[in-house]
């Protein structure tokens, strides 16, 4: 491909901001790792899906009206 896909440069900028401000954003982190460090996408998906839910996500799952 002779062009850069939309969002590639933004992924790097987001990653750098995450590092600078010590923000925990696992999805952004693995996107960066896939694009810039060669992490296999399936490995990234397994890593994300194996993570324990916390904070807002845990509250959403615990109070999901569709599961009641």
d(CA 39, CA 58): 27
| C-alpha dist (Å) from residue 4 to 7, 9, 12, 35, 43 | 8, 8, 13, 11, 23
* Cα–Cα distance measured from residue 38 to residue 58, given in angstroms and rounded to the nearest whole number: 30
pLDDT of residue 47: 93
The predicted pLDDT at position 68 comes to 54
- Contacts of 4-9 with C-beta under 8 Å, sequence gap 24+, read 8/35
Series of mean pLDDT values for 10-residue runs along the chain (68 residues):
80 96 92 97 94 72 66
């Amino acid at each position: 491909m002779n062009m850069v896909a939309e969002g590639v440069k933004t992924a790097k900028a987001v990653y750098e901001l995450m590092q600078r401000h010590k923000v925990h954003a696992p999805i952004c982190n693995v996107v960066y790792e896939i694009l810039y460090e060669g992490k296999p996408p399936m490995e990234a998906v397994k890593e994300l899906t194996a993570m324990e839910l916390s904070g807002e996500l845990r509250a959403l799952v615990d109070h999901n009206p569709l599961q009641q």
